[in-house]
Copies of this chain bind each other. A is one copy, B any other.
Amino acid sequence: MNLDYLFNPKSITLIGAAHSEEKLGGVILKNLLKFRGRVYPVNPNYTELMGLKTYSSTKNIPESVDLTIIMRPASEVPEILRGLQGKTMCAIIASSGFAEIGQNKLQDEVEKIGKEIGVRILGPNCMGLYNPYQRLDTFFLPYERLKRPKKGNVAVVSQSGAILSCLLGAVREANTGISKAIGYGNAIDIDESDLYEYLAEDEETQVVISYIESVGNGRKFIEKAKILSEKKPFIILKAGKGLSGQAAAFSHTGRLAGKYEVFHSILKQFGINEAEDFDELIDATKALSYQRPSKGNKVCIITNGGGSGVLAADECMKQGLEVAKLPDDKAGKLRHVFPYFYGINNPIDLTAQVRNEDYITALNELRDEYDGFVIIALPNVMGITEGLAGMIKRAITDINKPVVFHIPANGVAKRLISLLEKMKIPVYPSPERAVKGLKAVLLFGPSPK
């Protein structure tokens, strides 16, 4: 079977459904109320929960469902799973209490049963999944505690549920949306590689990001990660890099993290992108979800603050982007139209005397000379207004190159930032983060064939 039963089920059983959100099984049930397919809560003590007919056992459910969610104590899981033979295509075991706390035998037993009865398993010790295109949400976190991002084009694959929730929060803050989000936990069956394989073909997904502590099958991982990287921008955040982190990762999911240096060099060898930390992952995701990946590394920086331009130029060098000199003829033209005290170099320094239209003049003149643009607009001076957004909108349609902004997040230019991001131009709170965003669009996409 493929994973469609998991991501696009028509019918769901929830074992461990509860009557209120005080219990995790109640939170999941409430989140399932939005689902458009059929939902069968199971709880022997109720005949109805949250308005849904409730079953004392899976035996009484009138059909074999696509997906079953198990939220019962770990010790009960083997028996529950055996009872699912012929009753479900796949199961999410949300319960914890397995290898992550040293209960390896119990986990091995569950793995074995899954294979025997032919049910694909996500988990155990996992957050489950969120597919806004199907209004499918199996998380045990209430909406008020984790506001879900809207529909979008970013798929998040996370071994850790905590990081999954942080990534979803950050994706929402970045004004972008989710295609699929999966917390796969201890991965006794469905693992990161299976998910990469599915997402490579998923039409709603244009960017994939993945938080990994450890990899089960290294060969399979590399194979699937490589295929995915060749189709879509794909970025990995690897945790458990040092000895302390590795020990922490082991006690977290019960899998060995392995030597990071080896992992890192293999990713590099196969052209699989890696983010250095959480913020870099989110900054890259924002740019790639807004704009189509491009290729090339020649960057032009247009700024109204000299120092900010210098910091951006430094970061370009660090990130492998070239701040190439302006061609002489173009520099001559700009010198002719701009005031004598503007700095006609790269970065172009429009100084505190800047007017909105200067950015457009520079962009139009240089559109064919560079692969991408970092625009720095410090809104502390009178010449920068909200009108800049409209002008940029008209300009970028012609330019058709990646453009990212740095505007400080000090509240002065909230509306300008919001207008730009609605136009899918990502705005970052520091020059360095803007450069990292542009780098992702320029260097993290699939290589042209």
Contacts and interface: CB of A to CB of B under 8 A. Distances in A.
A5 to B, nearest CB: 27
A309 interface: yes
Interface string A196-238: 0000000000000001010000000000000000000000000
A145 B96 CA distance: 51
A327 interface: no
B341 A97 contact: yes
Contact of A242 (B170, B173, B313, B346): B313
Given A145-B380, A244-B316, A408-B166, A311 B277 contact: yes
A213 B310 contact: yes
Contact of A306 (B253, B317, B341, B410): B253
Contacts of A411: 147, 173
Contacts of A213: 307, 310
Interface in A314-333: 314-318, 322-323
B378 A162 contact: yes
Contacts of A239: 307, 310-311, 314
Interface string A247-264: 111011100000000000
A22 B381 CA distance: 11
Q: Which of A173, A247, A309, A410 has the most CB of B within 10 A?
A: A410
A253 B433 CA distance: 24
A347 B248 contact: yes
15 contacts: A96-B351, A141-B380, A144-B412, A145-B379, A158-B307, A160-B308, A163-B305, A163-B311, A166-B308, A169-B409, A242-B314, A242-B317, A248-B310, A277-B430, A279-B433
Nearest 4 pairs of A and B residues by beta carbon: A162-B305, A160-B307, A169-B410, A242-B317
